Amino acid sequence: MIAYVLRRIVQGLIAVIIVLSIVFLVLNLSGDPVRLMLPPTASDESVAEMRTLMGLDRPLPVRYVAFLQRSAVLDFGRSIQTRRPAISMVQERLPATVQLSVTALFVATLIGVPLGMIAALRRGTWVDRVAVLTSMVGQSTPVFWIALLLIFVFGVAFPILPPSGFGRPAHLVLPSASIALFLVAGITRITRTSTIDVLSRPFVTVFRSRGLSERLILGKHVLRNAAVPIVTEIGLQLRFVIGGSVVVESIFGWPGIGQLLTRAAFGRDFPVVVAAVFVIALCIIAVNLLLDLLYSVIDPRIKVWAR
């Protein structure tokens, strides 16, 4: 098992290096950061001097190796706008994004799993149709529009929740609900499919004929057997959680990585963009590794390391 974990960590690191390489290539093949940093009236000499100062006069492969070496020690350079180390700007904002994402994921699971199970049990009835329709509509609705609607309803029409801000738990409600509504769609869908599949297995019939309570059958046996695809889905959804929070943070003024990334992209503040992309990729890869290991806890028959 340790060998498996090590192998997965190495794979994850390779993925991070590839992400960094792609970002490096894209940023370096387009445009000249020096021109952006200096005033438009700067002379050619001072541009050349700045370029030498930043090491941009060296050939691309040399810069690439140097870039990877510095990335290994989390040095992504200083922000062009604030002159502060890019990585620490991202680090400061990590907790806010984690808080938002975890809340959204938690709420979505809490709603989506029961909804999906109910839909599976009442298959073909109106409950099922509503659940299927909701998940279909939910997956087709852009997160930022849900956010605008929620602000409109709960912040303006019936002002019971703060439409923006950060700090108190009430501030967390609207942003996380915006992301969660989208996630609920996916989780409901996969739970429904997975539960329908498990319900058709013989052991359910056996338990029912033996007179086990429906609550025990569903809550313990069916859920546990249906859990693996659900956990997989949650892992896949993680990208959308972070992607959603990037968008939502800008709308609600939530001081997370997403807001930082969007602003940095606006100002073409490349060091901050790279640092933010790096941290996001690292988080997603790490969580997916943990979820992978969780499979064998949920279903002992699965030994991920034996594959």
Q: Which positions lie near other proteins, rule CB under 8 A? A: 11, 14-16, 18-19, 22-23, 26-27, 29-31, 136-137, 139-145, 148-149, 151-152, 156, 239-240, 242-243, 246-247, 250-251, 261-262, 264-266, 268, 270, 273-274, 276-277, 280-281, 284-285, 288
User: What are the DSSP E strand ranges found in 64-162?
Assistant: none
| Shortest distance, position 23 Cβ to other proteins, whole Å | 6
210 vs 255: CA distance, rounded Å: 55
Q: Which one, 55 or 142, has the nearer CB to other proteins?
A: 142
Q: Which one, 11 or 205, has the nearer CB to other proteins?
A: 11
Q: Which one, 85 or 244, has the nearer CB to other proteins?
A: 244
CB burial of 122-133 (b: ≥16 within 10 Å; e: otherwise) equals: eeeeeebeebbe
**Number of residues assigned to the chain:** 307
Terminal C-alpha separation, the chain? 11
The position carrying tokens 């997975």 is: 194
| Shortest distance, position 174 Cβ to other proteins, whole Å | 14
Q: Quickly count: other Cβ atoms within 10 Å of residue 114's Cβ.
A: 13
CB of 174 closer than 8 Å to CB of 152: no
Nearest to 272 by CA among 124, 112, 86, 138: 86
| Shortest distance, position 209 Cβ to other proteins, whole Å | 30
| Shortest distance, position 59 Cβ to other proteins, whole Å | 19
Q: Which one, 5 or 289, has the nearer CB to other proteins?
A: 289
Give me the half-sphere count of Cα atoms (radius 13 Å) on the Cβ side of residue 82.
Answer: 12
| Shortest distance, position 153 Cβ to other proteins, whole Å | 10
Q: Which one, 87 or 217, has the nearer CB to other proteins?
A: 87
